[in-house]
Amino acid sequence: MARDNTREITLRFLAEPGDVNFGGKVHGGAVMKWIDQAGYACAVSWSGHYCVTVYVGGIRFLHPILIGHLVEVTAKVIHTGRTSMHIALQVRAGDPRGGELTETTHCTMVFVAVSSTGASVPVHRWVPVTAEDKALEHQALKQMELRQGMEASLVAPPG
């Protein structure tokens, strides 16, 4: 499979009536599905391989999305490991008749590239260049450190 190493992708579409919850807004589960789709597309574009989600964290719902709003889901590689990719996701939405798009949700996902047999495979390394990129990678590394600390405390036997 040819690899174009696309670091960032954006999906755009309209929120549809089938996405509504009991409160009349877009269901959080629909937003999570969009996040997963954009994250997956970004991970596959970067790695050139099928990818699996291994972590979703820091998901924060800031504002509701209304039916008929233009939704924009942006996924961007912010750190790569040997076989993994940390991807920052941002969801923005607003009135398609010219209104500003407002951030509604954000989170970080980690994907691992896998072969047709399910074994993890190496991914192309991403190197931050700008100050913003370096800050994003630092954020990813800090989240990974916190996550590993929480996981270790959950499996550690009581002292």
Domain architecture of the chain: domains with CATH: 8-126 (3.10.129.10)
d(CA 148, CA 26): 33
User: What's the pLDDT score for residue 4?
Assistant: 55
CA–CA distance, 18 with 84 (Å, rounded to integer): 33
**Mean pLDDT (10-residue bins), the chain, 159 residues:** 72 94 92 97 97 94 96 97 97 93 97 96 95 93 85 72
pLDDT on residue 146: 85
pTM here?
Answer: 0.88
* Contact assessment for residue 28 and residue 62, using Cβ atoms and an 8 Å cutoff: no
What distance in Å separates the CA atoms of residue 112 and residue 121, rounded to the nearest whole number? 8
What is the reported pLDDT for 147?
82
Q: What pLDDT sits at residue 98?
A: 86
